[in-house]
Amino acid sequence: MQDRIAEIGRYLFAGSANTLSTMAVYQLLVANLEPAVAYSLAWLVGLLMVAVVYPKFVFRVTGGWARGGAIALTYAAVFVVGLTLIKLLESLTIHNRLSIFLVLAVTTTMSYFGSRIAIARTSSRLKGARPLRRQESEA
pLDDT tens for 82-132 read: 999 999 999 999 888 888 889 989 998 898 888 888 877 766 554 444 454
CB 38 within 8 A of CB 30: yes
- State how far the alpha carbon of 14 is from the alpha carbons of 18, 46, 90, 104, 138, in Å: 6, 11, 28, 15, 27
- Position 138 scores a pLDDT of 45
Helix axes 96-123, 2-30, angle to 10 degrees: 140
Share of the chain above pLDDT 70, in %: 84
Reduce the DSSP state of residue 61 to 3 states and report it: strand
In the predicted model, what is the mean pLDDT of the chain?
81
Q: Kindly state the average pLDDT of the residues 49-66.
A: 76
Query: 60 or 33, which is more confident?
Result: 33
How far apart, in whole angstroms, are the C-alpha atoms of residue 6 and residue 44? Answer: 27
The amino acid at 135: Q
